[in-house]
A and B are shown apart, each in its own frame.
Chain A
Amino acid sequence: MAETYIARSTAIAARMLGGEMMIMSAVDSTFFTLNEVATLIWQSADGRTPLSEIVEQKICQEYEIEPEVAHRDAEEFVSALSQHRILVVSDQPISDSSTGAQ
């Protein structure tokens, strides 16, 4: 199965405030608040680490969660954020130049 790579878009503004990660799309001004697990995925989205590795090495290590459930939730989260162009998703490692606004 092909790996999924994720990177944070540069067309966003994000800030950790009051212990929660808040993100706003600079393209359509959509506003998101991330929970703890989602924040961990977000912070790990460096374009080089496969999503499966992020889930296994960080989520499953940190939280008591079944790997299958963790993978499914992570994919849903990534899909939702990529629709708003907050995360860039690819089946190849992502370079910095691929994360800008279109």
Chain B
Amino acid sequence: MEYGPQHEVAVEIGGMPIVVRTDDAEFRALLEKRYAGFLGASANDPLALDVDIIRPDRQICEEEELEVWSEGGTWRLERGDFRAEWDPQAGRGRLAQDFSPYAIDCVLRIVHSLIQAQAGGFLLHSASAIRNGKAFLFSGISGAGKTTISSLMPKDAVLLTDEISYVRRDREGYRACGTPFAGELARLGENACAPITRLFFLAKGPENRIDPVETPEALRMLLRNILFFADDPELVKMVFRSACDFLARVPAFRLTFFPDSRVWDLIQ
């Protein structure tokens, strides 16, 4: 007789639940704390990730740097603190990791990136927020101002994330969803979703202004900021197509801002 893992936690990000299964009760408690606000109900045939916690903590892979590659249709993910595989056809994966939230966090980002690449969406280095029922993305590399603009947000806006935005494609267009992937603000986003109205590329400056961005430049910047882990030609093509489709639907601008709350007067 076969026994499955004793504990299950459904972590739902972007409306996509992944059931994390483990035998380790302490790890289950860690997951429930780490992803509070993003715990969903398990679907009938859920995506599932079986996690083996390796104790005591030790290096699991020799290679410290993250490596992601595809082998016979299965994605393999390795870093010093974890080793994982994900079968996109079956929607099942396995993960061996130390007892920490960092490895599972990284694996969930990658798995969601792979899922969205197939579905025309992507994860983006950007803050995002909902205001008046519309979602706005604020994209940029580290230091561009994602945390700053998030911290200046007015009370009538809902923070989706200050670090990694979840962009989903649906019949009507594109929606931004909250993520638990926090940056320097160390605050989880709200588990909410809204149609994306504008994409802003952030720049700090002496005054607040919005300028249009030519499409080639917008595409270049967007591709630079999409989370992209694998050196895989088919995945490159999918991400390129998704980025082009996105820019055909969502207008992109450069938002230069002086770091005070008045910048939000421009974001309605």
Partner-B contacts on A (CB < 8 A)? 11-13, 15, 17-18, 20, 22, 24-27, 29, 31, 33, 101
Q: A26, B215: Cβ atoms under 8 Å?
A: no
Contacting residues of chain B (35-64) with chain A, CB-CB under 8 angstroms: none
- Taking the complex as formed, is B219 at the interface, i.e. its CB lies under 8 A from any CB of chain A? yes
Assuming A17-B219, A24-B223, is B233 touching A11 (CB within 8 A)?
yes
- Taking the complex as formed, is B262 at the interface, i.e. its CB lies under 8 A from any CB of chain A? no
With a CB–CB cut-off of 8 A, which chain A residues contact B33? Answer: none
The 4 closest A-B pairs by CB, nearest first: A18-B215, A26-B233, A13-B240, A26-B236
A74 to B219, CA, bound (A): 25
Q: B233, A27: Cβ atoms under 8 Å?
A: yes
Q: B220, A17: Cβ atoms under 8 Å?
A: no
Q: A13, B216: Cβ atoms under 8 Å?
A: no
Assuming A17-B247, A17-B248, is B240 touching A33 (CB within 8 A)?
no
Count of chain B residues with a beta carbon within 8 Å of a chain A beta carbon:
15
19 residue pairs A–B, Cβ–Cβ below 8 Å = A15-B240, A15-B241, A15-B244, A17-B215, A17-B219, A18-B214, A20-B215, A22-B244, A24-B236, A24-B237, A26-B233, A26-B236, A26-B237, A29-B236, A31-B219, A31-B220, A31-B223, A33-B216, A33-B220
A67 to B237, CA, bound (A): 36
With a CB–CB cut-off of 8 A, which chain A residues contact B156? Answer: none
A11 to B234, CA, bound (A): 9
Partner-A contacts on B (CB < 8 A)? 214-216, 219-220, 223, 233-234, 236-237, 240-241, 244, 247-248
A24 to B223, CA, bound (A): 10
With a CB–CB cut-off of 8 A, which chain B residues contact A26? Answer: 233-234, 236-237, 240
With a CB–CB cut-off of 8 A, which chain A residues contact B214? Answer: 18
Q: B215, A24: Cβ atoms under 8 Å?
A: no
Nearest A residue to B219, CB-CB: A22
Q: How far is the CB of B174 from chain A (nearest CB, A)?
A: 16
With a CB–CB cut-off of 8 A, which chain A residues contact B234? Answer: 26
With a CB–CB cut-off of 8 A, which chain B residues contact A27? Answer: 233
With a CB–CB cut-off of 8 A, which chain B residues contact A18? Answer: 214-216
Assuming A24-B223, A31-B220, A31-B223, is B237 touching A13 (CB within 8 A)?
yes
Assuming A22-B216, A24-B223, A33-B216, is B244 touching A17 (CB within 8 A)?
yes
Nearest B residue to A25, CB-CB: B236
12 extra A-B contacts, CB within 8 A, seeds A15-B244, A20-B215, A26-B234: A12-B237, A17-B215, A17-B219, A20-B216, A24-B236, A25-B236, A26-B233, A26-B236, A26-B240, A27-B233, A29-B236, A33-B216
With a CB–CB cut-off of 8 A, which chain A residues contact B236? Answer: 13, 24-26, 29
Q: B247, A24: Cβ atoms under 8 Å?
A: no
Nearest A residue to B233, CB-CB: A26
With a CB–CB cut-off of 8 A, which chain A residues contact B216? Answer: 17-18, 20, 22, 33
